[in-house]
Amino acid sequence: MREPRQLHIPACTADGTHTLLLVDDDPAILSLMSRMLRHEGFRILTAEGGEQALNLLASNPVGVVIADQRMPNMSGVELLSRVRGLYPDTVRVVMSAQVDVDTVTEAINQGAVYKVLAKPWDDDVLRTTVRDAFAHKGLHDAERKPGKHIRAVAATPRSQTDAA
């Protein structure tokens, strides 16, 4: 049997392409998620609330943000909506044990949230979602880079004149 292939992603880049920000008001949850994801090859930042997350985003380029929905002072969807306005290229994921369907549906429809994860999470689903989010970001970034689109120009053959 062949071993499954895994995509190797560098630990971090200057543009934050491989930096993950985890936001939850419970430090134990942040610690669990960080430990579970630390071998995935991403730089991991953590914040215990929306304001702290926004401060980290202001000083660190981040590729993906995962935020708990139920936090004091600022909900996950509210945070991710603000992140969308300030850092539109950052991929945003909300996580919650008690999902308010109307709020999350509205956030998805407005483009504030890429995916919704249930809490408690399945480790494999979380890992896959994080990988998919970074892959989504990579594709989105590649489409936006100048020089990635090649324009075809049809050359009209020059008429050959006899210089007689």
Per-residue pLDDT reduced to its tens digit, 11-33: 344 555 689 999 999 999 999 99
Q: Are 71 and 45 in contact (CB under 8 A)?
A: no
Model pTM score: 0.76
Name the residue with tokens 């008001």. 25
What whole-number distance in Å separates Cα of residue 34 and Cα of residue 29? 8
What token pair was written down for 78? Answer: 């509210």
pLDDT at position 139: 72
Averaged pLDDT, 58-82: 94
Averaged pLDDT, 33-44: 93
Residue 148 has pLDDT above 50, yes or no: no
**Domains, the chain, ranges and CATH?**
19-142 (3.40.50.2300)
H helix or E strand, kind and range, residue 95: strand 91-96
